Structure 1
């Protein structure tokens, strides 16, 4: 979301909720990762886990991978729109929901500050809509209950599709409700929602297929990288350095090639705004809060709109450094 869709009160409310959940995630990582139980309760915290020595480097490389993957907009045939991956379900399957929340939030923060992708004032809304709804809602309530030990590739694909579609549709509803509550744009709720839901259904299907493909490859060749496997088996003494290097290399490759692979069509939100309002370029509010947010973002955005072919590589490297550094700090405070 851009700042033009969000009023200061809505931004503050979403930011407060996001901060509370991020603080909870930090506390849980310090105490040790917890994952949903296989008994079927579907909650985020029902099975405590021991120390996870692979979590710190995995957060870094997966954050870089998701950042790079988000830059590759794929065209949605027959619509004139495009979509990109969110990555919340994939991150939660690899890291667990709370570590995934922190990792995806780091991606969104770097995108906002370094590349002016998403509004500075709307950052709390974007964290809530993209990170929270995918890692703390769609993953524990849909993906995990559908998974079983020894799940077939088809079952993994079904769980990934359903969870990804749910996450994208919930995010689309949240965007329209936040826009409606802000009341600063000419975007009627019903008409706006009528464009947002169908286009994000297609994006969710694309995300689900990509998520299933990655999880199935990881499960076949390096299953200990999946959080459920790590928590159900004895610790693996051998560090997965080669696998992490492969993921990091894939992130850099995606980041280096985004300018050639990404569709130039507007993404689902921009397309929906354009169809509803007649233009995708909405002006931010004239109040002081919007002006201050725009000025702050202008100072931090060294590569606005990814205006260099190296943006993907630089961004992936920044995510790797930020997530790895933050995860090390969090782990330093973990209880044994």
Structure 2
């Protein structure tokens, strides 16, 4: 629990600083929007390229990759179907809701939790690969096509992922990891430097978005959508992950504990960054990230008590 609290303390402090920045208007009225775009177009691609270029593929391609991928896709599909058929949301908003329900905070919270609680940061590497190389491109393609003012052609749909800086950076980093080619240190250092701004930048942008608003305010946001996404993320995904790992892949012991803890992490701030980028579902992404971050503390504690 000391590891869990340490990881969450860091997150809350940086978010609070972002709130103070917005409250004092240090960055002006559009500071949060500009910061969010910087994270999306510059810092996050640099972080993904740097991370994947140095990745150990033998650790990444493990049963954890399959378990986290299947669990996230199932929960995301459930959320998408409910949003489109029951609550009658548009495809962009439904896509953001699906991400909010299944996209795990693997980087800025997953890594410290993996180190302090699981004892090994490599446990989150397969999840990072799945979210970077499969889930993000899939969701961003849907958002690109569904928010475009032009009629989408087959060629446009196919080309959409390759116009996205996050996808391109992930592909480039994975190519280096697969080929074993190592770039000179002076070439990699700028990406490392820029990538270091991704996590704090996303947290600061998230904190700035909280100024002047009330989370879950009646009539100001999609409270039912937030409740659904939070329930799917913090209850359904961990239980489903346990079932997949225990009876689908026959994991037990520490490996079983690790994949369930990872599934119990809150919604990533990346979802809010994506929502801001496309101007759809921003309140849903913000409120779900906030709620799941609070709820994940007792959830992870229960998982640790039952499985550790």
TM-score bracket, shorter-length normalisation: 0.3 to 0.5
TM-score, normalised to structure 2's length?
0.35
